[in-house]
Amino acid sequence: MEISTLATYHCLAFVWYFFVTYSITHVRTEERPSEVFLYGGQWKYLTVLNLFVCLSFWTLYTYNRELVYPKSLDGVIPLWLNHAMHTAVLPFAVLEILATPHRYPAKKKGSILLAFVAFLYISWVLWIYSVTGEWVYPLFALLSPAGLTAFFTCSLAIVISFYNFGEFLNRMIWGQSKFWFSLLHTETQNYLK
């Protein structure tokens, strides 16, 4: 993809995410159900912090929407914004994979970084629960401490699996030569330092 086309795509994606984030923060505050936006506001939801949550959201929504997106939000968050947060992110992710090759860090380093970010988010969720006595997602109230641990562990395993799958797709689409050339270039630069 040409640099100008790629830059245009990335600018449009940035504007879209900025618009979605702006729209989330300007949801009609007077109509918000108080039990949904307690301590932490919308910043406690993984969707707002990281828009690539399509699969987990729609899976839980299909199973029992009240576990992740209570019906009381239908009158507050417009349908288009729900899909902007939970559906449109998938085509953007696919386009990103197709549009540009990525250099992934070593598997160990990438996994450690993902685990660290997951730990920070889980800490945030547990902090909110300790302050308010309410879970960010109603699903968590149904789980025992062992169930929560298993849920968070499985979630981390799924995230790491998606990370590895993204790396695999990157190699399949952009080829081993670019992947190995990037790796060789990085290793050479590290050696020269």
Find the farthest-apart pair of alpha carbons in the chain and give their distance in angstroms, rounded.
59
| Of 193 and 31, more confident | 193
* 1, pLDDT greater than 70: no
Confidence at residue 146, expressed as pLDDT on a 0 to 100 scale: 96
pLDDT (mean) for 184-193: 59
DSSP state for residue 69 in the 8-state scheme: S
Q: Give the C-alpha separation, 189 to 193, whole Å.
A: 6
Q: What pLDDT, in 10s, does the model give residues 59-103?
A: 888 999 888 888 888 888 888 888 888 888 888 888 888 888 888
**Neighbouring C-alpha atoms within 13 Å toward the C-beta of 40:** 24
Mean pLDDT of 41-54: 56
Q: Are 163 and 67 in contact (CB under 8 A)?
A: no
Tokens (6 digits) for 188: 């050479």
The burial of 5, by beta-carbon neighbours within 10 Å (0-12 exposed, 13-18 middle, 19 or more buried), is given as: exposed
When comparing pLDDT for 49 and 175, which is higher?
175
CA-based R_g, the chain, Å: 19
Phi first, then psi: give them for residue 34, nearest 5 degrees: -60, -30
Cβ atoms of 42 and 118 closer than 8 Å: no
As a whole number, the mean pLDDT across the chain is: 78
Q: Report the alpha-carbon distance of residue 51 to residue 125 in Å, rounded.
A: 17
> Domain locations in the chain?
1-100, 102-193
Residue 141 scores a pLDDT above 70: yes
Q: Provide the pLDDT for residue 148.
A: 93
Q: Which two tokens stand for residue 15?
A: 């504007």
Provide the pLDDT confidence category of residue 143 given band limits of 50, 70 and 90. Answer: very high
- pLDDT mean over 36-57: 58
